[in-house]
């Protein structure tokens, strides 16, 4: 299945809906809403927010970049609707984030996922991300697992 992946405003309705669904899923997995070390991403600090749409135009996945420094950014708010997992939507969003990061001159992408997200861990490892020490606000966070990938 193919997806149209394009930038959208952080506060656009479909993005807000997808991110709310992600937070609800994570709250359920972790048993609380206190599972994200550091500051939550916002319109003020997100460099790019992407939404993937299926052939009918429905928003089915999203992801964002938050710049860390001149050479790197963090992937934030990767989410795919449960009914579209395994369809290639996550890979389409991830590859688009990587392409945009390279276009911006970034050389590394980092991300944080959690111990209660084995599906995300498998996905990032399959996509070439390597386990790294927890960075920034995730250092010492027992539920956090961090990954990075050097961009070509």
**Domain of residue 74, CATH code:** 3.40.630.30
Number of structural domains the chain divides into? 1
Read off the pTM. 0.95
* pLDDT in the model for residue 31: 87
Rounded Cα distance, 128 and 109, in Å: 11
Structure confidence by residue, pLDDT tens digits, 56-90? 999 999 999 999 999 999 999 999 999 999 999 99
Low-confidence ranges of the chain (pLDDT < 70): none
* DSSP secondary structure, 8-74, as one string: --TTSHHHHHHHHHHHHHHHHHHTSS----SPPP-TTT-SEEEEEE-TT--EEEEEEEEE-SSSEEE
Give the domain range for residue 78: 4-150
* 3-class secondary-structure state, position 150: strand
């Amino acid at each position: 299945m193919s997806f149209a992946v394009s930038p959208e405003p952080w506060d656009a309705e479909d993005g807000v809906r997808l991110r709310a669904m992600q937070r609800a899923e994570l709250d359920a997995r972790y048993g609380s809403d206190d599972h994200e070390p550091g500051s939550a991403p916002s319109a003020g600090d997100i460099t790019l927010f992407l939404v993937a749409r299926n052939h009918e135009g429905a928003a089915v996945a999203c992801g964002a970049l938050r710049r860390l420094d001149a050479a790197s950014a963090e992937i934030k708010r990767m989410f795919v609707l449960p009914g579209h997992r395994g369809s290639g939507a996550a890979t389409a969003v991830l590859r688009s984030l990587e392409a945009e990061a390279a276009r911006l001159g970034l050389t590394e992408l980092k991300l944080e996922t959690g111990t209660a997200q084995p599906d995300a861990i498998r996905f990032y490892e399959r996509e070439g991300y390597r386990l790294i020490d927890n960075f920034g606000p995730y250092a010492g966070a027992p539920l956090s697992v961090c990954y990075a990938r050097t961009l070509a």
